[in-house]
């Protein structure tokens, strides 16, 4: 996230219904949709593709504050493909009503006014990316209870999406395709939220197919069949969740770049839509050598029940994985019931998250980060739960 100062935020009256940012990149935007007024608070992120994420406050007609939202604004000018994907994402998201899936409230895409944006649920807690990074910096992974809780909640949300049907009862065939720490976050009360179904695949009528050579999402968390551009199933998301949970439980990514000799990138017909955490050619090399021994090496110190769940989720052959995300959810909850002395839920999760980001944040200036990029770019102390100096 870009660094900013609270003093840089200015008030600027903008045309109604058009949430654009000033040329100085300030976060203050004002627009109105169906009688509800939105006022910008701060710019959270500018993505490599030019999209901006802005936190806004929502006010009803009488001016009463009714809570924060998130505005995702496409770069201007935006392409037809960008606009079409946003429309498809919203059409899909409107169908997803689950407590562990962040909601989309409104969309506007107007080529004449050169504006395209969505208003989404704002999840105020840290992402799993931030938590994993903070845990790594402090030198201690997140707790087993935390990982089991988050993993089961995410699996429950995925199963809901995987089994969603149309009005006439036909399966929509939704696959998230980008289950990764960046797209999982905690709410302010410890609830788990799956974000961004923008890379999702489904068989909804009218949704465009991604080009055969385009890999959407972060390939560092994708399943082997995706890298081979083979048919995806719910078991594909199960594999991605397994990769993420290995990182949560161990503090290390399942696929480590330093395990590979330095080699020149080979030509490939594939291309990635967003910059991946691991270079595509290295991920392809690591996946080519992937087997159960790789998993065992990563999770050797975990208890046997938890290891069994991760091994099942991370089978190279999709047919050997959990049949559904619900099966993985139940397995994770079974381990929690058998291994944890006390129940672990929202209250415990938000307390641990606050402690981890605080402890990790205190060490940021003392740790040599190198090329690992331990914290998301621009993460500031107050975003780690620390007091401003």
The catalytic residues are: 178
For the chain, the farthest-separated pair of C-alpha atoms sits apart, in whole angstroms, at 63
- Cβ atoms 246, 299 nearer than 8 A: yes
DSSP 45: E
Cα distance between residue 269 and residue 293, in whole Å: 29
- Number of residues that make up the chain: 389
Beta carbons within 8 Å of 36's beta carbon, 6+ residues apart: 58, 59, 60, 61, 66
Strand partners, 118: 72, 107
Give the chain's end-to-end CA distance (angstroms, integer). Answer: 20
> Concatenated DSSP letters for 248-295?
HHHSS-SS-GGGS---PPPP-S-EESS--SS-HHHHHHHHHT--HHHH
Which phi and psi (to 5°) does residue 107 adopt?
-140, 145
E strands within 188-270? Answer: 192-194, 214-215
Cα distances from 363 to residues 134, 146, 208, 356, 357, in angstroms, run 9, 22, 46, 11, 10
Cα distance between residue 333 and residue 30, in whole Å: 44
Cα distance between residue 6 and residue 185, in whole Å: 24
Cα distance between residue 249 and residue 244, in whole Å: 9
Cα distance between residue 247 and residue 83, in whole Å: 34
- Cβ atoms 335, 305 nearer than 8 A: yes
- Cβ atoms 268, 280 nearer than 8 A: yes
């Amino acid at each position: 996230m870009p660094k900013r100062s609270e003093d840089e935020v200015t008030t600027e009256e903008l045309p109604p219904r058009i949430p654009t940012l000033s040329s100085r990149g300030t976060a203050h935007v004002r627009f109105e949709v169906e009688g509800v007024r939105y006022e910008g608070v701060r710019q959270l992120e500018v993505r490599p593709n030019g999209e901006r994420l802005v936190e806004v406050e929502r006010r009803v007609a009488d001016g009463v504050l009714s809570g924060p939202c998130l505005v995702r604004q496409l770069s201007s000018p935006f392409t037809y493909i960008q606009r079409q994907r946003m429309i498809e994402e919203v059409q899909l998201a409107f169908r997803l009503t689950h407590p562990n899936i962040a909601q989309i409230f409104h969309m506007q895409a107007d080529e004449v006014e050169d504006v395209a944006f969505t208003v989404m649920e704002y999840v105020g807690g840290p992402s799993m990316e931030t938590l994993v990074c903070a845990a790594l910096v402090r030198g201690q992974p997140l707790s087993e209870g935390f990982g089991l809780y988050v993993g089961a909640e995410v699996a429950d949300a995925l199963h809901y999406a995987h089994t969603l049907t149309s009005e006439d009862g036909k399966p929509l065939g939704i696959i998230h395709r980008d289950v990764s720490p960046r797209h999982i976050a905690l709410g302010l009360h410890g609830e788990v939220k799956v974000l961004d179904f923008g890379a999702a695949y489904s068989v909804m009528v009218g949704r465009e197919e991604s080009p055969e050579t385009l890999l959407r999402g972060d390939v560092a968390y994708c399943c082997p069949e995706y890298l081979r551009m083979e048919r995806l199933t719910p078991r594909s998301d199960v594999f991605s969740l397994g990769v993420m949970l290995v990182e949560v439980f161990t503090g290390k990514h399942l696929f480590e770049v330093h395990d590979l000799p330095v080699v020149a990138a080979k030509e490939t017909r594939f291309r990635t839509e967003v910059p991946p955490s691991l270079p595509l050619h290295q991920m392809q090399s690591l996946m080519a050598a992937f087997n159960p021994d790789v998993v065992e090496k990563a999770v050797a110190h975990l208890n046997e029940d938890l290891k069994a769940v991760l091994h099942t989720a991370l089978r190279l052959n999709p047919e050997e994985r959990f049949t559904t995300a619900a099966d993985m959810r139940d397995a994770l909850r079974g381990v929690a019931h058998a291994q944890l002395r006390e129940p672990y839920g929202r209250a415990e999760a938000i307390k641990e998250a606050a402690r981890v980001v605080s402890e990790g944040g205190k060490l940021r200036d003392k740790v040599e980060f190198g090329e690992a990029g331990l914290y998301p770019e621009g993460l500031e102390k107050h975003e780690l739960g620390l007091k401003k100096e």
